[in-house]
Amino acid sequence: MFANNVGGIPNNNMSNADKLSESLEKWLINGNEKTAASFQNNVVILTNLIRDRTLSDPEIRTFMEACGINPDKNFGFNVNANIVSALKERDYNSVADFFTFKKSNSPPIQDPQAQALTSLKDTWKSNATQQVGSNNNRDLLTALILDQNFSDQNVLSFLNEIGVRPEGGWFQTKQGLPTNLKSLLQAERPRVHQTFFEAKQAQPVVAPAAVQAHAPAQAPAAAPAQAAAQAPAPLLKTQEIDLDFLKTVWKSNATQPGGTQNNRDLLKTLISDQNYSDQNVLTFLKEIGVRPEGGWFQTKQGLPTNLKTHLQAERPNVHQTFFEAKQAQPVVTPAAAPVQAPVQAQAAAPAKVQAAAQAPAPVPPVVAPVIPLQVEKIDPDFTTNMSIEGQRAAHETAKKYLEDNIQAMNGDVFIVSPPKSKNKKNNDYTQPIGDVDTSIIFWENTQGVQGDIQRDGKVKNRLVLYGVASQFNGSEAVRRLTVPPGQAVNAYASDNTQGPGAQLQFPNEQVEIINDAANLGFNGLCNVLDETTKDCVKHGYLTPMTEASADAVIAQLKEKGHLLEFPCIGNIPKGADNTEKVYEMLVAAPAFGMYARGVKLTDEQKQELTFLCAVNAYRAQFAQTLELAKLNPGKEVIFKPTAPGLGVFGNEAEFVCKGFAVAAREFETEFRNHGVKVALQVFRGMQPASIIKDTLGLQEINTSI
């Protein structure tokens, strides 16, 4: 794609995000070539970006970090005349000065955003005295981390000045797991994360290329050739080193462009480095969750990869233990049931799935990821580069994959579309909210979806459907990305929001299968959008960028909203004593708020998009609730919807409420006839979801009694 322009200047009509994305892709292509010419091309790329005054210093630093540049390594840029000249135009004398904010004509910590930070600190202090202040301050921190108008130094200063601690509840759960906020900080602001947490870590998190620099000091081991010639011996005692550093690098790579190759290089370096013991290597392989039969060690044709050959030559003891032990005993995740190999989606009949024997086991808070065969990480620009017809074909493949694999593990799968409204006025976002039947529609004070699903999995003669806040591709992600195959369970474990919390209550293989479908191209909007609006959704996030594209999407939702598709999946929750299937339906809302930087839409357009997405999502959920009631006569049926889009997605509660009310009135008669109850879930009775229950005058219900 860039063969003729691998050092070229990005189109000035591009957004800053697109400029940086295209430049990064070119950079990676050049980096793989490793020639003098490709190095010079990268010098040109970096020089052009530095001289582009539409790009802020933080944006360029983020780009350089993504490329693996750090001020402690001499990539030839510190002494390159073009780079130095460009940096001097920004008042910096070197790459090192650029990273440490040392301008020649200004104090190192001065920043034009200082006044804004003072206002934010006042807001933080005010929030701390309010009932819902913790949630508001969490949203404030999230927005600050994501806002590239603030430099890394701004963010670091803010964290230090408000007095939050690395080991405090903002960044670490009671179980010692990283919170969603910590994961976001590490992904979006790696240098801030490194500096802020360095007092807690023996080693700072650095680029994967520095693995050897962090190897433990040990006496030199035998040469690889000698080791290969020796007969396998018992594994050495585990060395006292911090493998958490390498695991952090591994996880970070998995979210970055080119991460697979970086992790392949990391593994190769670790295997070769005799400062690490055989037991270190074996432990690392197990803890990152790679499998002998996975794509790291075996091609699709069943042939050994270069990495497997390398492991056998350099670490015969590890090779023997890792592969022989795994062949003798299948790899399972520590879930309620062993992992089943996902069924490969095909145009013809699906491949057979061999189910492993059921063997209940305790469920730890974080488990090794399942790395499925045949599913590759989706192209980051899939919805932009692929034609809408191609996207629809991929969506059908993903649906079949999802259905085949969930059914293979005795789960239920429904792909649900909202019924088409008989009254066009019901698609008018300016209509009054109106009333709902409060004898069948209630609100419930929830302390968390996790405990609720576990409880409902034990109640006989009852069927519960949960509305789960997800994305339009079914994958849960805190920013515009699709979690790579096999990594969903671990990724979701550090996300405290409702969607990941709900999905993780079900078998781990189900979580991975749903995320696989997202990587195969599941897109609930693809039958609504067309070639002109296809790229308004990226990684399941719906955000039209211009007024023209917003108008087009609005028209399409009005005309073809009934073609939206949402997955509904029923299964027995993992955990002790659960015997009943609980259903989850993954729905989504448009992404505004902090996810809409650079978006040029009117308030009215955002309101109409919010309403149209809400009314169609609720229609689909109400229709599925009714279908489940008809399929399960004699059972009490309760639908527990949430309110997607409120909070950081910036959807106005009035128009989410209106969508809920309009859809509810369309189903009230049928719900009364079938004894269905609706219990709107309001987390700890707080805003913003409480606005909906107050507006509609709903009465509280307790379904746990």
Q: Which of 388, 363, 408, 703 is nearest to 533 (CA)?
A: 388
Inter-residue contact 121 to 137 (CB < 8 Å)? no
CA distances from 469 to 269, 466, 587, 617, 660 (A): 40, 10, 6, 11, 14
pLDDT one-digit tens code per residue, 552-604? 999 999 999 999 999 999 999 998 899 999 999 999 999 998 788 778 899 99
Q: What is the pLDDT of residue 303?
A: 74
Inter-residue contact 484 to 254 (CB < 8 Å)? yes
d(CA 265, CA 68): 14
Q: What is the pLDDT of residue 11?
A: 56
Q: What is the pLDDT of residue 509?
A: 94
333 Cβ partners below 8 Å, 6+ apart? 339, 367, 368, 370, 489, 508, 509
Q: What is the pLDDT of residue 362?
A: 36
CA distances from 192 to 62, 184, 545 (A): 11, 11, 29
Which tokens sit at 591?
């992404």
Strands 441-446 and 462-469: unpaired
Q: Chunked in runs of 10, what are the mean pLDDT values of the chain (705 residues)?
A: 44 71 78 70 86 84 74 54 80 78 56 67 79 75 80 83 81 73 83 74 35 38 35 35 66 74 79 76 85 78 77 85 59 34 39 32 36 73 93 94 93 96 92 96 95 95 97 90 92 88 96 96 97 96 95 97 98 93 98 83 96 98 97 96 90 96 97 97 87 96 89
Inter-residue contact 572 to 453 (CB < 8 Å)? no
Residue whose tokens read 């790229």: 535
Q: How many CB atoms lie within 10 A of CB 142?
A: 20
Which tokens sit at 568?
């509904």
d(CA 266, CA 399): 34
* DSSP assignment of 456-495: HTT-TTEEEEEEEE--TTS---SSS--PPTT-HHHHHHT-
d(CA 384, CA 379): 10
- The structural architecture, per CATH, of the domain 382-696 is 3-Layer(aba) Sandwich (3.40)
Strands 566-571 and 582-587: antiparallel
Strands 677-683 and 537-538: unpaired
d(CA 314, CA 337): 35
Q: What is the pLDDT of residue 101?
A: 73
Q: What is the pLDDT of residue 22?
A: 79
Q: What is the pLDDT of residue 239?
A: 37
What does the domain layout of the chain look like in residue ranges?
16-99, 114-200, 212-217+224-328, 382-696
Q: What is the pLDDT of residue 218?
A: 38
Q: What is the pLDDT of residue 227?
A: 34
Q: What is the pLDDT of residue 351?
A: 31
